[in-house]
Structure 1
Amino acid sequence: MIANVYRTHHCNELRPDHIGETVTLTGWINTVRDQGGVIFVDLRDREGITQVVFRSEESPEAAALSHKLRDEDVLRVSGKVVQRLEGTANEKLATGAIEIVAQVAEVLNKAAVLPFQLDTELSNEDLRLKYRYLDLRRPRMNKNLRTRHRIVKATRDYLDEAGFVEVETPILSKSTPEGARDFLVPARLNPGKFYALPQAPQQYKQLLMVAGLEKYFQIARCFRDEDLRADRQPEFTQVDIEASFVTEEDIYALVEGLVASMFKAGRGVDIPTPFLRMTWKEAMDRFGSDKPDTRFGNEIVDLGDVFAKTEFKIFRGTFDKGGVVRAINAKGFACLTTGQMNRLNEIAIQAGLPVKTLAFIKCENGEYKSPLWKFFTEEEKAGLVAKMAIEEGDIVFFVAGEWESTSTILGRVRLEIADMQGITKDTEKLNFLWVIDFPLLGYSEEDGKWNAVHHPFTRPKAEDIPLLEAGEYAKVRAVAYDVVLNGTELGGGSLRIHESDLQAKMFEVLGVTGEEQHEMFGHILEAFQYGAPPHGGLALGLDRIIMLAAGEDSIREVIAFPKNNRGQELMTMSPGSVDFKQLRDLYVQSTFKPKEKVAETGVEGVK
């Protein structure tokens, strides 16, 4: 090992066993405290903190220097390890039993006044992102990046042990309609042509199966030009996996072991396997979501039997049209505020509620309070109370309509109530499950056509292929699966179509003409004609997994240099303008005319 002139130990290494040794530490000054002329400095590096004391009787030069120190100066100090005086030990620090008495000190670099204090949490995220290199010095952020490293390493080790080969696929690829909007890159050497940044390596990994690789993985960078939120970024990372000659059972076992190893490495917990499995139909029926949070109850209940003979006009009309009446019981939540009720109405409307307010019944002081109560018969009232297990302090929310829309509305309301009650903040409980048997296709009223629920390469269940041929698209199920944790989708995948005729049929159902198939997908359709093996795989959202392992609420907290919710990287001010010559060389002309000049940084007070 090369001798290090900057340090003999890191700042979380020294213990009472080192007392009497002369050591050298280097790091950033975390705090400076003047105790009657004796200066105490907490010196910090990425490993932790060690206290250094400067006394003039030990070293007049070092003591003189100490009066000029400020937070975040880069300091190298040499001195003797001593035991702290009785009653001054800091049990919160691993190094809290000792301190360094400075003999020689040198400021390697002075720090300017910081734009914000590193020992406090900021609500101004844009300011944090503008000075991300300072934000990353904070222990929390340092820990998150190191958690990321451990999880990525565990991923590679696990998949290598399972016989998978890591292969990098192109970043500059072809634009194909696979869901989100592509990021496009002008091709200077091919005027008028464009590359696309990959939304995922989907076609490449399938072609690697045709190539006979059999077991592939990649820590893949992916790009999607879509609206952002806490768990989305325009560029993100996924663990991409594909294998030949596998069934979905093989995928389940592989991924469960992988996820368990990731959480063991990142969080130090043992994840029990196998995971619970639930069909898409059951998930929507019970939880109103294809990524259900099963840490709490308040499940959706169908009230068709209770109101089968009802004369209540709204319910009767719904049943006569083939609809359903469904409800959830928010246990103990009858005391919700007007603001909370307004928020639930807002959530329900956003999810598709056709009226302005949620119907409800609440039980307070032994009375059932609701505009609906008077319309129900005594038999219906008794049946409702029994079916929903209504007790004092409960409030029941109803939705009537088509099955899938009522499920979605109540599912969103259920989650919002749990959030209001603080239930979803329980990050210690880890409920993993598989959601399986998704629909292969979904009809878009807006587009007037059928779309792939996952992507166009997803395999239909063998027993449902005749339904696909017969045009009964709504009944066709996919051999698709999502792995879910606490209401967050960690990743998803499927067995793939490997026959060119079945793939062409799928494209036909999606409204992709033969000419368009040849133009956009001719390479993969042709490849399937040369002995493509049965294959399947899955992609895990690496950023989301790290976020959950680290106990964070946003993937921006586990990415070194993320974009904000406007797609801007504020530290370097990306995206930025380019000059006319660059555009001319690319045969691109900008037609954008800004209405007014905006602040250069997007951060108030920072230019």
Structure 2
Amino acid sequence: MAESMKGLHRTHRCTQVTSSNIGEEVTVMGWVQKSRNKGGIIFVDLRDRSGMIQIIFEAADVKAEGFAKAEKLRSEFVIAVVGKVEARSGAVNENLLTGDIEIRAKEIRILSEAQTPPFPIEENSKTKEELRLKYRYLDLRRPDLQENIILRSKAVNITRTFLAEEGFLEIETPILQKSTPEGARDYLVPSRVHPGSFYALPQSPQLFKQLLMCSGFDRYFQIAKCFRDEDLRADRQPEFTQIDMELSFVDVDDVLDVNERLLKKLFDETIGIDVSLPIQRMTWQEAMNRYGSDKPDTRFGMELKDVSETVKDCGFGVFTGALENGGSVRGINAKGQGAMPRKKIDALVAFAKDFGAKGLAYLSIGEDGSYKSSFSKFMTEEELEALVTAMDGEKGDLLLFAADVNKVVYDVLGNLRLEIARSLELIDKTKYNFLWVTEFPLFEWSQEQNRLVAMHHPFTMPIEEDLELLDTNPAAARAKAYDIVLNGTEIGGGSIRIYQDDVQEKMFELLGFTKEESYERFGFLLNAFKYGVPPHAGLAYGLDRLIMLMAKEDSIRDVIAFPKVKDASCLMSNAPDVVDKKQLEELDIALVSKTKE
């Protein structure tokens, strides 16, 4: 039976007890990690969120009743212990913060008994994730997960303090918003008071934070909950958190400066990493040309080389055909991999096809300088030599080429360099490489919608010198947009916003909206712009991704207290679930069953 805490007061968390407390009486409380009965003496490892400490129960120190309680202890019992701090009688445990001390118990209370948990509560658990997520409240007792959640809390507090000191005001924006579908699907919420009408959960606070700039608040931030009804991956959740900000009377350099200083403070004060400022900047076009990615991992080389000029007159039809169709021929040099077995090269070819390649041309250079290639018979010795030179090829290297339209070439080689680097362990995982990617295209073409869509969103300002392209060649226009990339993952992005009526109307027109449609969707913002709007800009970080990288985890599920799985369900609470028929009737909602073909 559980005992009361009456008269007890916890004096220390487990790891707050140190050798400086030797001789003192302390009261600690927590969960039993494990208990070892050595006959007449019982050793208990007690755990709380700070860590563990060893408790010793001896019959001579605790009353018979207390020793009997200690004998009952099993994993995950919740107990309170009063005792004296001593230097550890046995060998010091170097793996524990409290490994040089122990507490000799004189009183114990069992505050709560526990059934045997469905899996061990231990770091780096090998238990299947599905089972751990079903019992997430137990999984969260694991020290490594608790460290991640504590890191997250610390990062948010540092961010709040820093932004407040920089003149930002924390302002909450509505969760129940108007649906403005442009991009990912909205989560819809039916209104009982307005039958047939729906709210949308925010994909971001974008429109409201711009309205706050119109309202004269100058600098806003929010730790904002956002929602997107999209297909999930390891780094996606249906609900996620942004560190969201907006600033008035600024240009690109101002936004990047304040965020660089935020990142420096954040990484220094949480994980002790010194972020060197200023952070490197690279245009979108340079990033694509060098890395085949707009979020390049710069911790290793193997950069793309454009060899279109070198091979434009060669006899290999795959190369020349791609060039004739307006594409390019580019390659990567896997240094020292010239002896890679054909089976592994074939696996790389198959990998490349997953990203749209029709094939992958290769040329391996032997240690004797000889060439082995999938296309050498179509090229002269001189053409091969020129190609190897253009690729900085040396003895023992493996050269891999993609020839197609640029988008396919970038996708193929960008992903191929990452795959090779991972498989050959070329990435220094101790590095934190930050990069600003700037000057994104303003638009991209959507095959699905057969029209231009905004690469960031419809409120992104074009680069001033590209404004005239909106009338002549909008697809070539660049945006005053910027992403912050860490180790090949985009952790945040933003842009300078459009604040002139004529430019905003032109953007909507190019996106295929009539003036009426623009006002139907975004009228409250466009009307606000008629009453004096300052130049403004913003940026939002994906907090979950940021913490995932800081904690060196592979999935954001490991840094979110109660995450959902790939089908957007919660295994612990069984959400989403059916609701009572009466609730649906109140909302004027009738369910139509779909027959699967």
After TM superposition, list the pairs within 5 Å mapping 1:182-581 onto structure 2: 182-334=186-338, 336=340, 340-341=344-345, 343-353=347-357, 355=358, 357-366=359-368, 367-424=370-427, 426-470=428-472, 472-581=473-582
Matching of residue 116 in structure 1 with residue 119 in structure 2: yes
TM-score by length of 1: 0.94
CA contact under 8 A between 1:122 and 1:128: conserved in structure 2?
Answer: no
- d(CA) in 2 for partners of 1:548, 1:514: 43
Distance 1:456 1:316 in 2: 38
Aligned equivalent of 2:3: none
Q: Aligned pair in 2 of structure 1 residues 130, 335: CA closer, same or farther (>3 Å)?
A: farther
The aligned counterpart of 1:74 is 78
Which secondary structure does the structure 1 equivalent of 2:319 belong to? helix
Q: Give, as a single letter, the amino acid of the residue that structure 2 aligns with 1:389.
A: D
CA contact (8 A) 1:500 1:526 kept: no
Q: Which residue of 1 aligns with 2:53?
A: 50
Structure 2 distance, partners of 1:343, 1:111, is 51
Give the CA deviation at 1:525. 1.2
1:209 and 1:535 in contact (8 A); partners too: yes
The separation in 2 between residues aligned to 1:427 and 1:97, in whole angstroms, is 32
Query: Which amino acid is the alignment partner of residue 431 of structure 2?
Result: K
Q: Secondary structure at the match of 1:12?
A: helix
Query: Secondary structure at the residue paired with 1:305?
Result: helix
Shift of 1:340: 4.8
Q: Whole-Å Cα distance in 2 between the matches of residues 315 and 549 of structure 1?
A: 42
Mapped to 1, the partners of 2:7 and 2:566 lie a distance apart of 42
Rounded Cα–Cα distance in structure 1 between residues aligned with 2:273 and 2:34:
34
Change (3 A) 1:331 1:509: same
Judging changes above 3 Å, is the alpha-carbon distance between structure 1 residues 155 and 449 closer, same or farther for their aligned structure 2 residues? same
Q: What residue is the counterpart of 1:93 in the other structure?
A: 96
Partners of 2:46 and 2:55 within 8 A in 1: yes
Do the aligned partners of residues 185 and 343 (structure 1) sit closer, same or farther apart at CA in structure 2, a change above 3 Å counting? farther
Range moving further from structure 2, 357-366 or 27-36: 357-366
Which whole-Å CA distance do the structure 1 matches of 2:338 and 2:128 have between them?
Answer: 35
With over 3 angstroms needed to count, the CA separation of the structure-2 counterparts of 1:212 and 1:280, relative to structure 1, is: same
**Measured at CA, do residues 483 and 4 of structure 1 come closer, stay the same or move farther in structure 2, by a change above 3 Å?**
farther
The residue identity in structure 2 corresponding to 1:465 is L
- Aligned-residue offset at 1:339: 6.8
Contact 2:435–2:484 (Cα < 8 Å) also in 1: yes
Q: Structure 2-normalised TM-score?
A: 0.95
Contact between 2:136 and 2:562, CA under 8 Å: does it hold in 1?
yes
Q: Is residue 2:35 matched to residue 1:38?
A: no
Instruction: Count how many residue pairs are aligned between Structure 1 and Structure 2.
Output: 590
Alpha-carbon contact 2:119-2:127 (below 8 Å) kept:
no
SS in 2 for 1:516: helix
Q: Deviations over 1:42-68 (max 9, x none)?
A: 111111111111112222333222221
What CA distance in whole angstroms lies between the structure 1 residues aligned with 2:253 and 2:19? Answer: 53
Gap change, CA 1:4 and 1:217, over 3 Å in 2: farther
Contact 1:278 1:434 in 2 (8 A): yes
Per-residue CA shift, 1:527-573, capped at 9, x if unaligned?
11111111111111111111111111111111110111111111111
* Whole-angstrom distance in 1 between the partners of 2:231 and 2:395: 43
Does the C-alpha gap of structure 1 residues 313 and 595 become closer, same or farther in structure 2, counting only changes over 3 Å?
Answer: closer
Alignment of 1:589-600 (within 5 A): 589-593=590-594
Distance 1:197 1:439 in 2: 28
Per-residue CA shift, 1:388-409, capped at 9, x if unaligned?
2333443211111222321221
Using the TM superposition, give the Cα deviation of residue 126 of structure 1 relative to its aligned residue in structure 2, in angstroms: 1.4
Deviation at 1:335, TM superposition (A): 5.1
Secondary structure of 1:423 counterpart: coil
The 5 Å alignment of 1:4-19 reads: 5-19=8-22
Q: How many angstroms does 1:304 deviate by?
A: 2.2
1:178 matched to 2:182? The reply is yes
Mapped partners of 1:180, 1:315: distance in 2: 37
